[in-house]
Amino acid sequence: MTDRTATAKTRTQPDLRGWLIGSVIAVTGALIAGQALGQDGPLIQSHGFSSFGELQRPEGFTHFDYVNVDAPKGGEISIWTQGTFDHLNPYETQAGRPGALSNISFERLMRAPADEVDVSYCYLCTSLEYPEDQSYVIFHLRDDVTFSDGTPMTANDVAFTHNLFITQGTPSFASIVSQMLPQVEVIDDHTIRFEIGEGFDPSDGISQAGATLVMSQAWYEETGNRLDEARTEISPGTGPYMVTDFDLSRRIIIGRNENFWGADHPLNVGHNNFDQIRVEYFADTTAAFEAFKAGEFTFRLENSSLTWATGYDFPNRNEGYVVQETIANGALPRAGGFTFNMTLEKFQDRRVREAIGLMYNFTWTNETLQYGLFRQRESFWQGSDLAASGVPEGLELEYLQSVADLIDPSILTDEVTVPHTSTERQLDRRNLRRASTLLDEAGWIAGDDGIRRMNGEALTVEFLSPTPSYDRIVLPYISNLERLGIEANYNRVDPSQYTERTRAFQFDLIIDSYRNGLVEGESLGQRYGSDGVGDVFNPAHYTNPAVDALIENVVSAGTLAEMQAGVRAIDRVMRHDLFIIPNWYLADHWTAYFDMYRHPETIPPYDLGYLTFWWYDEDAAQALRDAGVIR
């Protein structure tokens, strides 16, 4: 017998943008393992939680199947990121740039494996229990968890952290979670109860409670620090690593927590194998790649098709000291592309957005500039059961009919919107003619000089970017837009200015993305609903009352089919709205590393795990040192 839950779970690699807290819902639901008698009747007890499926692993399992339980501990892995940082508080999202991996010390009550969808297991807890109506959830905490300063973690720390995020966290997060979990009760030092708010799917509430981070109450009270301030002090965490050194805007050193309580925990066996993680900062990708070739850092997750196809012809690679490896990626690709600033009046007309989108030629770009290595993204949930296809039918159609007065009628009858097709010529004249017609209809008329104007004002588009990586992609696109009569330009700014401008929505178009999950719930509102407008999780500032209403169907879903149909309806509406021009996605990880790192033979689908369950081969590293390749 199983129960249900509807949440958003996103599988991604460690995020080097330390400011991103993540989805409102980060873990998911439970298999009934037994029952106990509570004051309101029988309580369901379990070691894990799953919304619509069953847990693969029984109570008492010893480790995840995909790890090497005999992986040695030791060595360093060094990686890179671009830009600068001026503080180390990952949960301050309004000013400055937090350092990479500055959230690495903090752990959640429950944790998800890398090979199961919509599943999490007790981690800082030993078990959870809740009544059949899921109106509350009780977590029984471990009694051996300690912070990095050696002090014990208790239920008071859990409650304190929950309330800290409610009062000082990201506004959209605080607004939703304060309603979803309106009351937290510390029963004793190792037992805590979360009340689930009315109007929310209770299983979402259980999921969010399990996603609670834990910080030290004593540290915050002693220091007087706030969650929402920029600072270089980091509160003690319970995790296996902690920031041990840093040089602002240059590097961050992550070292072992010598007081780590959980080395032998089943969820940690085969994990946390490196003694040290070093993050090097570079101003741009070119400088970073040259540093990698010289061995200044030793692991690189490649994102440039040009570099992947042509850049790895260098001595250390040719002599076998550097491994270049493609590894399958089963995670949901980010919903990315050229993202409109939907606060601007000129982009309120869908015809303008469609016309601008028609000038992006994926076929030519991929074949000519990206070596044919990418695929064109269509859905916000690309390649999954949540992606809309064909014409709507069944429950998905019923959901769409419920908002028929809020959407274009064609959404109910036509095949789902897909990115336009293009020829292998940079400028597709068929798309140019269609775009020209759309702008004429929208009132943007080309003058004698070819520039499109309305009421004397030219139609302008600025592409904003913090990196030269997109130069060769954007510049031909700008050329196409100029042929359409749009005054387009490309403005590359430093990362700090980019952060400041995008947070203030001072841009026209950027290349950005949304992070979605294979199971969705309340966090949809933070990303695509009115709750998330103006938030860092909604880079387009997108909102649509129809999507707001459809999100409620997902939140209240009682079955997997209901959740999937609800998300497909949302996918269909958002694809029609064209607030992002879909670009490309990659179904693989492109990895390059000095030949001293090892990984399991089979990588799980939802996490590459290079910082977690890869390991260091000391003999291989010594051979590289002997050859003078690394120091």
- What tens digit of pLDDT does each residue of 499-552 get? 999 999 999 999 999 999 998 988 899 899 997 787 788 999 999 999 999 999
Considering the segment(s) 11-284 as one domain, its CATH architecture is 3-Layer(aba) Sandwich (3.40)
Section 200-213 average pLDDT? 89
Check: CB of residue 212 under 8 Å from CB of residue 109: yes
Q: Of 481, 534, 560, give the one whose Cα is nearest residue 7.
A: 560
Torsion of CA 128, 130, 135, 136, to 10 degrees: -40
Taking the C-alpha atoms of residue 162 and residue 186, their distance in angstroms, rounded to an integer, is: 12
Q: Is the pLDDT of residue 169 over 70?
A: yes
Opening angle at CA 589, ends 583 and 590, nearest 5: 95
Q: What pLDDT shows up at residue 94?
A: 76
Taking the C-alpha atoms of residue 196 and residue 131, their distance in angstroms, rounded to an integer, is: 11
Q: Is the pLDDT of residue 624 over 80?
A: yes
Q: Where do the structural domains in the chain lie, given as residue ranges?
A: 11-284, 339-585
Taking the C-alpha atoms of residue 620 and residue 626, their distance in angstroms, rounded to an integer, is: 10
Q: What pLDDT shows up at residue 16?
A: 32
- The pairing of beta strand 136-141 with beta strand 322-328: unpaired
Torsion of CA 213, 219, 220, 222, to 10 degrees: 170
Section 13-22 average pLDDT? 31
Q: Report pTM.
A: 0.82
Can you read off the two tokens belonging to residue 574?
A: 């958002």
Q: What pLDDT shows up at residue 5?
A: 28
Least confident of 32-36, 132-136, 259-263, 472-476: 32-36
Q: What pLDDT shows up at residue 38?
A: 53
Taking the C-alpha atoms of residue 280 and residue 196, their distance in angstroms, rounded to an integer, is: 43
More confident: 40 or 400: 400
Cα distances (Å, whole numbers) of residue 179 to 184, 197, 208, 537: 12, 6, 11, 19
Taking the C-alpha atoms of residue 410 and residue 260, their distance in angstroms, rounded to an integer, is: 57
Q: Is the pLDDT of residue 54 over 60?
A: yes
Banded model confidence at residue 50, pLDDT cuts 50, 70, 90: confident
Section 333-352 average pLDDT? 97
Q: Is the pLDDT of residue 496 over 90?
A: no
The secondary structure of 60-128, three-state, reads CCCCCCCCCCCCCCCCEEEEEEECCCCECCCCCCCCCCECCCCCCCCCECEECCCCCCCEEEECCEEEE
Q: Is 160 left (phi over 0), alpha (psi -120 to 50) or beta?
A: alpha
Burial of 402 (0-12, 13-18, 19+ CB in 10 A): middle
Share of the chain above pLDDT 70, in %: 93
Mean pLDDT for the chain overall: 91
CATH code at 339-585: 3.10.105.10
Banded model confidence at residue 41, pLDDT cuts 50, 70, 90: low
Banded model confidence at residue 36, pLDDT cuts 50, 70, 90: low
Q: What pLDDT shows up at residue 384?
A: 93
Burial track 57-88 (b if 16+ CB lie within 10 A, e otherwise): beeebebbebbbeebeeebbbbbbbbbbbebb
Section 182-200 average pLDDT? 95
Note the pLDDT tens digit of each residue in 248-301: 999 999 999 999 999 999 999 999 999 999 999 999 899 999 999 999 999 999
Opening angle at CA 113, ends 110 and 116, nearest 5: 115
Check: CB of residue 505 under 8 Å from CB of residue 341: yes
Q: Is the pLDDT of residue 20 over 70?
A: no
Q: What pLDDT shows up at residue 9?
A: 34
Share of the chain above pLDDT 90, in %: 82
Taking the C-alpha atoms of residue 287 and residue 587, their distance in angstroms, rounded to an integer, is: 26
Taking the C-alpha atoms of residue 283 and residue 85, their distance in angstroms, rounded to an integer, is: 11
Section 142-166 average pLDDT? 98
Burial track 430-462 (b if 16+ CB lie within 10 A, e otherwise): ebbeebbebbeebebebeeeebbbeeeeebebb
